[in-house]
Amino acid sequence: MAMSLTSLLVPSYTQMLRALSGWLDKAGKQRPAAEAEALLSGRLAPDMYPLSSQVRFACFQAQEAVYRLRGEALPAALEQVAREGRNAGEEPGSIADAQARIREALSVLGDLGSDALDAGAERSITLALPNGLVFDMTGAQYARDWALAQFYFHLITAYAILRHHGIELGKADYVPHMFAYLRPGSMPQG
């Protein structure tokens, strides 16, 4: 039996957005408030978007797939998230703002039915980027080759920025949802 787009995307986005929220919580606990907020302007390289953008873009990507796969126009509120991401270098906002964006994305995902995205697998998707590139693909190709890849790019970049700036995160922070599958008695002691 093939995995449906809904059962692939929604749990993946949900689990990882919750992990991202946890990383921001850890940053707030490991640094004084002003230093934690300053992390939002942190970058890996001068020509990359800062942490605040990476969080917003991850939230945008998770929601964009919902609308594209259902053949719906992106709502103005979601377009605003993308604009905030592009402008976050000048206006990074706060960790509370970032957490609010994560909660909004989780709410959209949480409101979906168990097959909400599945009909979009064969839908024709046209993706026009601001730089003029235009991609034509099916919904399944879009989900596999764009939606998941872009989401994880921004998620991993956020993780790397936090690590680069000294926040103590490890593999367990990256995939905390895996502990639901942990075989009893297999957790290393010590």
pTM of the model: 0.94
CA 45 centroid distance within chain: 20
The model's confidence at residue 16, banded by pLDDT at 50, 70 and 90, is very high
Cα distance between residue 135 and residue 50, in whole Å: 26
**pLDDT class for 63, splitting at 50, 70, 90?**
very high
Kindly tell me the burial class for residue 132, based on how many C-beta atoms sit within 10 Å of its own C-beta (0-12, 13-18, 19 or more). exposed
Sequence spans of domains, the chain:
5-181
pLDDT bin (cut points 50, 70, 90) of residue 2 is: low
What is the fold of 5-181? Four Helix Bundle (Hemerythrin (Met), subunit A) (1.20.120)
Is the pLDDT at 1 greater than 70? The verdict is no
Of 60, 58, 52, 63, whose CA–CA distance to 97 is shortest?
Answer: 52
Helix (H) or strand (E) holding 25: helix 5-30
Residue 190 has pLDDT above 90, yes or no: no
Mean pLDDT of the chain: 95
Q: Tell me the pLDDT tens digit for each residue of 80-107.
A: 999 999 998 889 999 999 999 999 999 9
pLDDT of residue 187: 86
- Can you give the pLDDT at residue 130? 85
Residue with tokens 């964009």: 64
pLDDT attached to residue 104: 97
Of 84, 61, 70, whose CA–CA distance to 155 is shortest? Answer: 61
What spatial distance separates the first Cα and last Cα of the chain, rounded to whole Å? 41
Percent of the chain at pLDDT exceeding 90? 93
* pLDDT tens-digit series, residues 151-187: 999 999 999 999 999 999 999 999 999 999 999 989 8
CA pair distance 73, 146, nearest whole angstrom: 18
Distances (CA, A) of 183 to 11, 91, 147, 188: 21, 45, 32, 11
- 3 pLDDT band, cuts 50/70/90, is confident
Q: How far apart are CA 45 and CA 47, in angstroms?
A: 6
Residue-level pLDDT at 189: 84
